[in-house]
Copies of this chain bind each other. A is one copy, B any other.
Amino acid sequence: MPEILIHIAEGRSAESKKALMQDITDAVVKNFGVPPDRVVVQIVESPKHNKSRGGVLFSEM
């Protein structure tokens, strides 16, 4: 605890996703005072045709 889910469309680099998960872990440890290994982060990635903003698919932006 806590468990963090990040919902994104595909297309981000592995490096940026790794760095984000590390930064979020650090933020939880700093603010909640929990041991790092209690912090689980999962990226739930959907293809761009499975995500929309304003009714427009990310694959059509």
Chain A residues packing against B (C-beta within 8 Å): 1-9, 12, 14, 16-28, 30-32, 35-46, 49-55, 57-58
Contacts of A3 in B (CB 8 A): 3, 6-7, 40, 42
Select A40's contact among B17, B27, B53, beta carbons within 8 Å.
B53
Q: Determine how many copies of this chain the complex contains.
A: 6
State how many angstroms separate the Cβ of A15 from the closest Cβ of chain B.
Answer: 9
User: With a CB–CB cut-off of 8 A, which chain B residues contact A30?
Assistant: 23
Contact B22 A28 (CB under 8 A): no
Query: How many Å lie between the Cα of A9 and that of B8 in the bound state?
Result: 16
B residues near A41, Cβ cutoff 8 Å:
51-53
> Contacts A18-B57, A54-B39, A55-B36; is A24 near B27 (CB within 8 Å)?
yes
